[in-house]
Amino acid sequence: LLPLRERIRAFSKAPVPSTVADKDGDEQDIAGWAGMLRAARHGKLIVFAAGNENNYNVPMHSATLPYLFPDVLDRYLIVANLTPDDELHVTSTSCGHTASYCVSAPGTDIYSAAGNFISRTGGPITEAALNLGELTEEPDYREETGTSMAAPHVTGAAAVLMQRFPYMTAEQISTVLKTTASDLGAPGIDNRFGWGKINLKEAIDGPGMFITAADIPPEHYVPGSYTNTQFVANIPGVGGVLDAGTPLERQCSGPECALDIWRNDIGGHGGLTKEGAGTLVMTGSNTYAGPTLVNQGRLTINGSVTSDVSVQGEGIIGGSGTLGSLTVRRGGTVAPGNSVGTLNVAGDVSFAPGSRYVVEVGTDGQSDKLQSHGAAMIGGGEVAVTLENHNNLLTQNEVFTLHGQQYTILDAQQGVSGRFDSVMPNYLFLGTGLGYQWDKVLLNVGRNNTSFASVAQTPNERAVASAANTLAPGHPVYESILHSRTAEEARQAFRQLSGQVHADVASALMNDSRYLRDTLNGRLRQAEGLVGSPAIRANEDGAWVQLVRAWSHATGNSNATGYRASACGVLTGVDTAVNEWRLGVATGYTRSSLHGASGSEADSDNYHLAVYGNHQSGKLGIRGGVSHTWHRIDTKRTVNYGIQADHDTARYSAHTGQLFAEAGYSIRGSRLNLEPFASLTYAEFRNNSIAENGGAAALRGGKQHKNATVSTLGLRADKKWQLNQGMTVAFRSELGWQRLYGDRKRGVKLRFTGTDAQFKVNSVPASRDGMVLKAGAEATVNRNVTISLEYSGLLSQSYQDNRLNAGLSWRF
């Protein structure tokens, strides 16, 4: 055999013809053997039919190649033919001396593709006719029997497993097929059936055995085979590269590349090595004798393994099952449970310097735990505390508090020796410490000295944080902030909880009060015979109407977020001359809408009532009025930070009162009419109690008020031109400086449910100074048709208000 082996080895290393002659002149298919050897050594699985030699105990000579090259045995599978009754068919060759790499599969009366030669010329079916090209093959199907019908079952099963386990090698697929086969004949591996009948249902749940030479009966063992004692599960993660730098290099793309589950009970004398960044979960009762080495990624034991488990490098061991023993070396991590859970160890547990024990603490009083029936030897390492991925706390009225809790994280029946080097809470507001008893390690969790407000960066954040810090342990808002890992997470919570929309809507409605007084002043100027607002439509009896459509924007600053607002509606009134005065009354309805940050919104239905009047003394005009507006406010806001979420709504009433006066001096010129003016306004906003509906983040607020005094100094200019054919064009403009007196802050006091501690959250502050700008034009096409366009704006550092009115009037 030695010369034959050398000739096959030589041919396997270079291109060769399909057949060669040996030294005696006999042709042997050495080239074919060499090709199979080459394929096997490049990671291919070779599946052979055993042959059809009427139960002869020696399979086809090609199937014996592993005897010459035992290193490829685990990539060879020989297949015997079974009847429907799971008996070896009378024509099938037995597994014989290939039993250690032989399986059985159905191969009797298999409906299979076949073909028959037919003559193109109508002549006889002969080899000569075939060579002359006179024959063709007619495709057909028919029942066939033989190991060539059995082998495709194994090939197909292997293909299914290669898709099921995309990270496995050819030899591992072979191992899964062999070790999950249904035993036939004599128990274990035998001459007739080999490993038994392939069982794909079992195979898709993983290996049934980790094979070493000790698992092969001596009479079937091929010397030099089954030398690998560890089954390497290299689960690289989605996108990971397997067999890099070889002809089999490929990218692992299925979900099993990130997480796979083996459900079989695995035996054998071999062991398991976990490599790759992915996760392997084992749920069976595993009795394999070799060690379990976790070098990379996570191995989760939810069943049991009787072997000794060692974790090192970048490996993680977890789950809620049972281990034989546990050694955590430098770089290795223990993380019991699948979330919070207990990992049991039948023997001893040891931690080396540089090891890590990750303890997850739940919101129900439970924590991760190592339960050892042996002793625990702690030679250092770190305990890292994390919080369970809990549910949304804001949907609850009261939750379990972490403050002041104590957990048993390691329990060793035969005692604990040594200490961990450190404990890391991994949380901003939680402090942790370890306690040691004779047979236990305890974890104490409580508040540290970091206050909520100390990580806030803005006045609004500090106000919310200070109020939240007064909440009792167990309050969902308090506990949710307690879970913050970083300062930015905490600040996001403060911003989301602030309820700034209530301050925003109050500020916006105070700003909107200018629409009513501007309309009334414009109407009075119109009645004085000056060029008034072209958007105000009035008849000769003093009745008038104006449509309102406006947009405004407040720019956020380092404390408060900005918002966008709009208003639309109609204002109407009637006025008349009374001696030297003109007096009137006005009413109307507008609707204001506001959109703030983080999905907060507010709408207000506004109902207006005002009295106004003016007195003209020569060129001096005095105008003024008083108004009251009733608001029905609806707010809604969405709270989102981390996995916390709440949706809070409120409906409450408010009102705005204002008193305004203006003096203007009319200067009429041949080319342009001017009016320098000065105005003064006092406005006050009051809201009734605020009570949000929602979850634990819902806010409350009492009755509050705020006021503003505003002056404006400016100049108006207008001009009217009479054109041909009765057409007139009028132009009106205004430029002014607006000044705000007093406090610029626009805030509201709120509180969380369950506490009396209020916090004040501010909207964007009002601008101290601003520019008032108006421009309008009106064209009378004829006595019946008038076209008008008007712009009005208030421009300041943090607030911009713009109105645009276009109109077409047709009298008939």
Kindly state the DSSP code that residue 217 receives in the 8-state scheme.
-
pLDDT for res 24: 47
Distances (CA, A) of 422 to 289, 434, 443, 515: 35, 9, 12, 65
Q: How far apart are CA 209 and CA 270, in angstroms?
A: 8
Q: C-alpha 410: how far from its chain's center? A: 33
Task: Give the domain extent around 489.
Answer: 452-494
Count of domains for the chain = 3
Q: Verify that 439 and 544 share a domain, yes or no.
A: no
Q: Which residues contact 739 (CB under 8 A, 6 or more apart)?
A: 710, 711, 712, 713, 768, 769
Instruction: Assess if residue 273 is contained within a domain.
Output: no
Whether 154 and 110 have beta carbons less than 8 Å apart is answered as no
The runs of H, that is alpha helices, within 336-475 are 459-469
Whether 675 and 654 have beta carbons less than 8 Å apart is answered as no
Q: Verify that 535 and 407 share a domain, yes or no.
A: no
Domain of 659, CATH number, reads 2.40.128.130
DSSP assignment of 304-341 = EE-SEEEEEEEEEEEESSEESEEEE-TT-EEEEBSSS-
Distances (CA, A) of 269 to 208, 288, 294: 12, 6, 18
Q: Verify that 638 and 670 share a domain, yes or no.
A: yes
Q: Verify that 574 and 711 share a domain, yes or no.
A: yes
Q: Which two tokens stand for residue 606?
A: 């506004």
Whether 784 and 810 have beta carbons less than 8 Å apart is answered as yes
Q: Which two tokens stand for residue 342?
A: 């207990």
pLDDT tens column, 283-313: 999 999 999 999 999 999 999 999 999 999 9
Q: Verify that 470 and 562 share a domain, yes or no.
A: no
Q: What is the CA radius of gyration of the chain?
A: 44
Q: Verify that 370 and 398 share a domain, yes or no.
A: yes
Instruction: Assess if residue 536 is contained within a domain.
Output: yes
Distances (CA, A) of 674 to 46, 734, 735, 757: 102, 10, 11, 56
pLDDT for res 103: 98
Q: Which residues contact 529 (CB under 8 A, 6 or more apart)?
A: none
- Helix axes 459-469 and 487-497, enclosed angle (nearest 10): 90
Q: Which of 313, 150, 282, 104 is nearest to 210 (CA)?
A: 282
Whether 42 and 74 have beta carbons less than 8 Å apart is answered as no
Instruction: Assess if residue 205 is contained within a domain.
Output: no
Q: Which two tokens stand for residue 253?
A: 């793309």
Q: How far apart are CA 809 and CA 812, in angstroms?
A: 10
pLDDT for res 25: 41
Instruction: Assess if residue 45 is contained within a domain.
Output: no
Q: Verify that 426 and 521 share a domain, yes or no.
A: no
pLDDT for res 7: 59
Q: How far apart are CA 726 and CA 718, in angstroms?
A: 19
Q: How far apart are CA 211 and CA 69, in angstroms?
A: 18
Q: Verify that 568 and 680 share a domain, yes or no.
A: yes
Q: Which two tokens stand for residue 332?
A: 């290795």
137: Cα within 13 Å, side-chain hemisphere: 6
Q: Which two tokens stand for residue 590?
A: 């507008």
Q: How far apart are CA 14 and CA 27, in angstroms?
A: 19
Find the angle CA(608)-CA(610)-CA(615) to the nearest 5 degrees. 155
Q: How far apart are CA 625 and CA 627, in angstroms?
A: 7
Instruction: Assess if residue 201 is contained within a domain.
Output: no
Q: How far apart are CA 20 and CA 14, in angstroms?
A: 14
Residue 193, helix vs strand vs coil: coil
Kindly state the DSSP code that residue 404 receives in the 8-state scheme.
T
Q: Which of 641, 653, 648, 609 is nearest to 505 (CA)?
A: 653
Q: Verify that 481 and 530 share a domain, yes or no.
A: no
270: amino acid identity, one letter:
G
Whether 160 and 144 have beta carbons less than 8 Å apart is answered as no
pLDDT for res 790: 84
Q: Please give the sequence-ordered ranges of beta strands (E in DSSP) within 346-459, or none if there are none.
A: 349-351, 356-361, 369-372, 376-378, 382-387, 405-412, 416-418, 422-424, 430-436, 440-447
pLDDT for res 27: 45
Q: How far apart are CA 701 and CA 757, in angstroms?
A: 11
Q: Verify that 321 and 457 share a domain, yes or no.
A: no
pLDDT for res 812: 53
Q: Which of 766, 690, 677, 748 is nearest to 718 (CA)?
A: 677
Bridge partner residues of 552 (DSSP): 565, 801
Q: How far apart are CA 18 and CA 10, in angstroms?
A: 14
Instruction: Collect the ranges in the chain with pLDDT lower than 50.
Output: 1, 16-27
pLDDT for res 670: 79
Tell me, yes or no, if the pTM score tops 0.85. Answer: no
**What is the strand order of the sheet 342-345 is part of?**
285-286, 304-305, 322-323, 342-345, 369-372, 405-412, 440-447, 430-436
Q: Which two tokens stand for residue 173?
A: 């697929």
Q: How far apart are CA 360 and CA 339, in angstroms?
A: 7
**Phi and psi angles of residue 177, each rounded to the nearest 5 degrees, phi first:** -65, -45
Q: Verify that 349 and 436 share a domain, yes or no.
A: yes
Compute how many other C-beta atoms are within 10 angstroms of the C-beta atom of residue 272: 25
Compute how many other C-beta atoms are within 10 angstroms of the C-beta atom of residue 38: 18
Q: Which of 241, 230, 319 is nearest to 277 (CA)?
A: 241
Instruction: Assess if residue 680 is contained within a domain.
Output: yes
Instruction: Assess if residue 211 is contained within a domain.
Output: no
Instruction: Assess if residue 370 is contained within a domain.
Output: yes
**Phi and psi angles of residue 768, each rounded to the nearest 5 degrees, phi first:** -70, -40
Domain boundary among the residues 389, 424, 450 is at: 450
Q: Verify that 615 and 665 share a domain, yes or no.
A: yes
Whether 148 and 78 have beta carbons less than 8 Å apart is answered as no
pLDDT for res 700: 96
Kindly state the DSSP code that residue 745 receives in the 8-state scheme.
-
**Phi and psi angles of residue 170, each rounded to the nearest 5 degrees, phi first:** -60, -45
